[in-house]
Structure 1
Amino acid sequence: MAAKGDDRREKGHAGKGVRGGAAAIMEDPRFVAFVDHFNGDRDYFECHEVMEELWLDNGRDPVLQGLLQAAVGLYHWRNDNRAGAVKLFAGSLRKLAGAPAVLHGLDLALLRECVRSSLLALCPKLAEQPEMLAALEGRTAPPPGGPAPASASEIPALPEIAPAPFQPFALRVVDAALEAAAADRARKREAGGHRGGGRKHPH
């Protein structure tokens, strides 16, 4: 089993099963680490490592899963696993559908647009299937042929994937305290004060 990084050790077992709301999540060092890695060094693997544990500790919250899937989608895209990226971006859209425009100090409306744009870059023909795209975004019922998928693994077959070059995007932080905490962590990381755990392949 891979060793856990500083942020995961810092939280320990005290937070297991505790759901303290949006404010508590924003203050969690794992969430701060997620924002730092997503926007700072673009270490999407570490995004997966810290967010997966936070997601599990918070009752498998769908918004946290949507954030996790967006990061892993970028990880796969950068590593030329475009099929994996498409699957994760589609899942992220579904998990973020219906979420508030702003939550956990992040502009989720903008994030949805970024994920949607990435999905369309990889599946340009999806723009010709508005019913499927609307269903993925949770705006309408899915097209005839089955119930709405409940998870990324149940996303229906999407159009042909294009060889689109990697196009990263960033999270827009709208909470001043979260922005300051992520910036402080970035300074410590760059100085060598934060290191991730052992490497595994994210889901």
Structure 2
Amino acid sequence: MSETMPQEFWQGVEQFNSGQFYACHDTLEALWIEAIEPEKTFYQGILQIAVALYHLRNENLRGAAILLGEGSNRLRRYPDSYGGINVDELLSQSAELLTVLQQTSVNKISASELLENQNLPIPKLVLSNDC
């Protein structure tokens, strides 16, 4: 990992945490296109989780579940803390939301019912203690 993450990455973190998921995707995608490993997959994992949350907001529960899983799978190869982000916490929060989405599907709850009647565990990008 490079010693410091680029300023655009931190802009993407702010966008993610403020609920600007589409903007976060655009910001991180621009970094991802130019990146080399191991940052490339790290950016992709976070941006896929951002797109999952964008799908969730637009009541596309299936798309949200698929991208939560794909983004999480990409991030599992990283240590608990990477790039100044607590990866373990992001994975835990994403897994919690994925469980809710899967239960929603099994229980045949509509997306609008889910979004209206539940405090969803929306993931946040938490800074790691060692940055």
1:34 is paired with a residue of what secondary structure?
helix
Q: Deviation at 1:59?
A: 3.0
Say if 1:103 and 1:62 are closer, same or farther in 2 by CA, change over 3 A: same
Per-residue displacement from partner, 1:94-119 (whole Å, max 9, x unpaired)?
Answer: 10112100000000000000111111
Q: Does 1:98 align with 2:77?
A: yes
Q: Does 1:81 align with 2:48?
A: no
Which has the higher Rg, Structure 1 or Structure 2? 1
Aligned to 2:125: 171
Q: For residue 113 of structure 1, what is the amino acid of its counterpart?
A: S
TM-score under structure 2 length normalisation: 0.81
Q: Does 1:116 align with 2:70?
A: no
2:79 is paired with a residue of what secondary structure?
coil
CA distance in 1, matches of 2:2, 2:57: 30
Q: Does 1:23 align with 2:9?
A: no
Q: Does 1:56 align with 2:33?
A: yes
CA distance in 1, matches of 2:42, 2:102: 23
Q: For residue 67 of structure 1, what is the amino acid of its counterpart?
A: I
Aligned to 1:35: 13
Q: For residue 172 of structure 1, what is the amino acid of its counterpart?
A: V
CA distance in 1, matches of 2:109, 2:32: 31
Aligned to 1:65: 44
Count of paired positions: 121
TM-score under structure 1 length normalisation: 0.54
**Contact 1:106 1:171 (C-alpha < 8 Å) held by counterparts:** yes
CA distance in 1, matches of 2:9, 2:85: 11
Q: Deviation at 1:88?
A: 0.4
CA distance in 2, matches of 1:33, 1:75: 17
Structure having greater relative contact order (Cα 8 Å, sep ≥ 6): 1
Q: Which runs of 5+ in 2 are unaligned?
A: none
Structure 1 vs Structure 2: percent identity of aligned residues? 26
Per-residue displacement from partner, 1:147-201 (whole Å, max 9, x unpaired)?
Answer: xxxxxxxxxxxx7475433722211112687xxxxxxxxxxxxxxxxxxxxxxxx
Q: For residue 19 of structure 2, what is the amino acid of its counterpart?
A: R
Q: Deviation at 1:71?
A: 0.7
CA distance in 2, matches of 1:63, 1:55: 8
Q: Which runs of 5+ in 1 are unaligned?
A: 1-20, 126-158, 178-203
CA distance in 1, matches of 2:58, 2:78: 29
